[in-house]
A and B are shown apart, each in its own frame.
Chain A
Amino acid sequence: MSHGQTELTVGAVAVGVILVVFLSSLINGLQVGLMEDVVGPIPHITVEAATPEARPLWQMEGRNTGVVTQVEKMSSRKKQIEQWERLAATITRLPGVANVAPAAEGDGLVTRGAKTVGARIIGVIPEEQMKVISLSHRIVEGDFNKVDQESAAIGVKLANDLGVNIGDRLRVTSNLGITQTFRIVALFDMGMEDANKSWIYIGLSAAQGMFGFSRDITTFNIRTKHLFDANMVADQVRGICPLTVTSWMESNASFLDTLRMQNTSAVVVQAMTLLASAFGVASVMIVFVVQKSKDIGILKSMGATATQIRRIFILEGFGVGLGGALLGSGIGTGLCYLAKTMVVPGAVFGGKQATIVPMQFNMAYVLLASGVAIIMGLLSSVVPAHRAANLDPVEAIRRG
Chain B
Amino acid sequence: MQTVEISKSYAEGVKTWALRGVDFAIKAGEFVAVVGASGSGKSTLLNLVGALDRPTSGRIFIDGKDTSMLDDASLAAVRGDTIGFVFQFHYLLTEFSVLENALMPLWIRKSGATKNDVAWVKELLARVGLQDRHNSRPGQLSGGQKQRAAIVRALANHPKLVLADEPTGNLDSQNGAMVFDLLTELNKELGTSFMLVTHDDHLAQRAHRIVAMGDGQIVADYQVDKVEREAETDDNLPEAV
| Residues of A in contact with B (beta carbons under 8 Å apart) | 294-295, 298-308, 392-394, 397, 400
- Complexed CA–CA distance, A164 and B151 (Å): 99
Q: Assess whether B108 is interfacial by the CB under 8 Å rule.
A: yes
**Number of CB contacts from chain A to chain B under 8 A:** 56
Asked whether B108 lies within 8 Å of A306 as measured between CB atoms, the reply is no
Instruction: Determine the residue in chain B with the shortest Cβ distance to A395.
Output: B53
- Complexed CA–CA distance, A305 and B91 (Å): 18
Asked whether B77 lies within 8 Å of A305 as measured between CB atoms, the reply is yes
Instruction: Determine the residue in chain B with the shortest Cβ distance to A3.
Output: B95
Could you write out 19 A-B pairs with CB less than 8 Å apart? A298-B91, A298-B93, A299-B104, A299-B108, A300-B76, A302-B79, A302-B85, A302-B108, A302-B153, A302-B157, A303-B76, A303-B77, A303-B81, A303-B105, A305-B72, A392-B53, A393-B52, A394-B52, A400-B91
Asked whether A394 lies within 8 Å of B47 as measured between CB atoms, the reply is yes
- Complexed CA–CA distance, A393 and B48 (Å): 12
Chain B residues with Cβ below 8 Å from A304 are 76, 80, 108
Identify whether the interface residues of A are mostly helix, strand, loop, or mixed.
Answer: helix
Interface residues of B in 85-124 (CB under 8 A from A): 85, 87, 91, 93, 104-105, 108-109
Q: Assess whether B241 is interfacial by the CB under 8 Å rule.
A: no
| Residues of B in contact with A (beta carbons under 8 Å apart) | 47, 50, 52-53, 72-73, 76-81, 85, 87, 91, 93, 104-105, 108-109, 153, 157
B110 CB to nearest A CB, Å: 10
Partner of A308 from the list B79, B91, B108 (CB cut-off 8 Å) is B108
Chain A residues with Cβ below 8 Å from B50 are 301
Partner of B73 from the list A295, A306, A397 (CB cut-off 8 Å) is A306
B196 CB to nearest A CB, Å: 15
Asked whether A294 lies within 8 Å of B79 as measured between CB atoms, the reply is no
- Complexed CA–CA distance, A295 and B157 (Å): 18
A157 CB to nearest B CB, Å: 72
Asked whether A303 lies within 8 Å of B53 as measured between CB atoms, the reply is no
Chain A residues with Cβ below 8 Å from B76 are 300, 303-306
Chain A residues with Cβ below 8 Å from B93 are 295, 298
- Complexed CA–CA distance, A302 and B72 (Å): 13
Asked whether A302 lies within 8 Å of B47 as measured between CB atoms, the reply is no
B127 CB to nearest A CB, Å: 20
Interface centre among B73, B76, B91, B157 (most CB of A within 10 A): B76
Instruction: Determine the residue in chain A with the shortest Cβ distance to B153.
Output: A302
Asked whether A305 lies within 8 Å of B73 as measured between CB atoms, the reply is yes
Interface centre among A298, A306, A397 (most CB of B within 10 A): A298
B100 CB to nearest A CB, Å: 13
Known contacts A295-B93, A393-B52, A394-B52: does B85 contact A307 (CB below 8 Å)?
Answer: no
Asked whether B91 lies within 8 Å of A397 as measured between CB atoms, the reply is yes
Chain B residues with Cβ below 8 Å from A303 are 76-81, 105, 108-109, 157
